[in-house]
Structure 1
Amino acid sequence: MSSLPFANDRIAVVSITRHGIALAGRIARALPGAQLFAPAKFRDIAEAAAPGMAACYEGKTADQIPGLFKAFDAIVAVVSLGAMVRLIAPHLGDKESDPGVVALDEAGRFAIPMLSGHLGGANALAGAVAEAIGAQAVLTTASDARQTLAVDLLGRELGWRFEASKAVIVKTSAAVVNDEPVAVVQETGSADWWCGHANGRSGALPGNIQVVDRIDAIDPHRHGAVLWITHRHTGELPAALYAAIADRLVVYRPAPGAAE
């Protein structure tokens, strides 16, 4: 199964119908450590579907959502997409804190990331679940649909951390998916950031993305995004260069001592 940005014991698998629980059990078993949540009236079915992994609750499913949001990093729901929208809507915060949520149909045909696809890991989880049960992951984020770079995921599997405001992430992400010229300036870190990309990338690097090894090699007025992989600080840049690119500069920090 594909690697995930969280441990399996941080994943809740939820279903509320007899047939849905059978599928949820398959998913939970494919994610050892995950926990299956189902209504108490289906306790026997849940325990048979996922022995030792079932947690059954009394009352409304809606009443379980706040606790699931707080206790888990991801939720896989064998529940209709519309029903899940209504269940989670009152509890949405922001993309930095909301769990990744994936919805599946009872037939197990489609795995749909519906919340926190990138930072929350729902896209990666949908891919992993689809791989495990023979479903189709339905990825609607532009970078995944077009198999291009996701600015907020670059280097995550390699332990990199990025520095940029939300406004800059939005602007640079738009530049990537709208085929504007994008400079990736790599001064340090592993060169395997494309093949090892979160969600998987197997094709060639898109033509609008240029990789260079020196930040002074870029044309500051040409590039819609500058993605700088470095151990240096922005204060080391020439003042004119920094002023020209500050509103579209994302800095990535590989861990000190990481493999180059």
Structure 2
Amino acid sequence: MTADLPRVVLVAITKHGAAQAATLARALPAASVCVAAKFADACAGLPNPVLAYEGPFKDQIGGLFDQFDQIVFFVSLGAVVRLIAPHLKTKDEDPGVLVVDDAAQFVIPVLSGHVGGANAMAETVAALMGATPVLTTASDVGKTIPVDILGRELGWRVEAPKINITRVSAAVVNEEAVAVVQEAGSPHWWTRPTPLPASIHRFERVADVDLTRFQAVLWITHAEVTAEHWARLHERLVVYRPPLAASAPEGGQ
């Protein structure tokens, strides 16, 4: 997915849905619109690219998955689940998928909420439509650290086996003792209006952490992470690599 400009498509299969998609498209001029050809007149005059399809809509899904990073459906949730099911791969590959209900009251991320960006997209769409985003991922509901995408907006790169990300995410959302060691990068990574949960403990150096006391460690560093660290924190360590320029100390020291 392109970090600065995700490829977004708004999808509708009914007359009412096409009208809703057209309304949102006016606020997202870079987004494409995919509608049934017989309802394409709802998109007349839009600057957005419009795909007016003929035939069964299910035949469009594969192409949408290949071409777009965010797919916003103005289609019922159950129908969307059935339509996308044959095309699912992994959360590292699947696009973000969202559903807007028929009354445009709720925006629901269905697939790839974190890695695929559907949660963030849901909040954007909801703000534009005066709707409510319905987020169900545990870190968002619990207002805690999203382990898999921490620091993404700052250019941080996650370095850990997938099993580690799964185990550490579980420790975070279950409010187990977690150490965040920050030796590099911007300190402004916690942007929620609420304080960090009490189970999260911050340190400036990994040497200051009694590794036996914590169920997981998030280590933000440019230092070498040795095989001993990975072994000692078996499946409980996730490392983040900020851009080198981001951690250069003031005054060049």
Q: TM-score range by the shorter chain?
A: over 0.9
> Equivalent residue for 2:232?
244
Q: What letter matches 2:186 in structure 1?
A: S
> Equivalent residue for 1:81?
77
> Equivalent residue for 1:91?
87
Q: Could you tell me how far apart the structure 1 residues matched to 2:125 and 2:28 are?
A: 9
> Equivalent residue for 2:162?
166
> Equivalent residue for 1:53?
49
> Equivalent residue for 2:25?
28
Query: Pick from 201, 219, 224: which aligns with 1:210?
Result: 201
> RMSD in angstroms over aligned alpha carbons?
1.5
Provide TM-score, normalisation by structure 1: 0.91
> Equivalent residue for 2:61?
65
Map of 1:136-215 to 2, 5 A cutoff?
Answer: 136-195=132-191, 201-215=192-206
Runs of 5+ in structure 1 lacking a partner? 196-200
> Equivalent residue for 1:7?
5
> Equivalent residue for 2:245?
257
1:219 matches 2:205: no
Contact 1:6–1:73 under 8 Å retained in 2: no
> Equivalent residue for 1:44?
41
Query: Pick from 113, 119, 123: which aligns with 1:117?
Result: 113
Q: Percent identity over the alignment? A: 53
Structure 1 runs of 4+ off > 6 angstroms? none
Provide TM-score, normalisation by structure 2: 0.93
Q: What letter matches 2:106 in structure 1?
A: F
Q: Could you tell me how far apart the structure 1 residues matched to 2:21 and 2:202 are?
A: 43
Q: Secondary structure at the match of 2:148?
A: coil
> Equivalent residue for 1:198?
none
Q: Secondary structure at the match of 1:180?
A: coil
Q: Secondary structure at the match of 1:188?
A: coil
Contact 1:221–1:244 under 8 Å retained in 2: no
Q: Per-residue CA shift, 1:200-252, capped at 9, x if unaligned?
A: x21111110011001011121221110000001112x8x3x553214211110
Q: Secondary structure at the match of 2:78?
A: helix
Distance 1:6 1:63, change over 3 A: farther
Q: Secondary structure at the match of 2:147?
A: coil
Q: Secondary structure at the match of 1:75?
A: strand
Aligned residues: 247
Runs of 5+ in structure 2 lacking a partner? 249-253
Q: What letter matches 1:251 in structure 2?
A: V
Q: Could you tell me how far apart the structure 2 residues matched to 1:207 and 1:64 are?
A: 47
Contact 2:185–2:247 under 8 Å retained in 1: yes
Q: Could you tell me how far apart the structure 2 residues matched to 1:83 and 1:184 are?
A: 41
Q: Could you tell me how far apart the structure 2 residues matched to 1:47 and 1:67 are?
A: 23
Q: Secondary structure at the match of 1:210?
A: strand
Contact 1:28–1:53 under 8 Å retained in 2: no
Q: What letter matches 1:254 in structure 2?
A: P
Q: Per-residue CA shift, 1:139-178, capped at 9, x if unaligned?
A: 0000001111100111000000011111111100000000
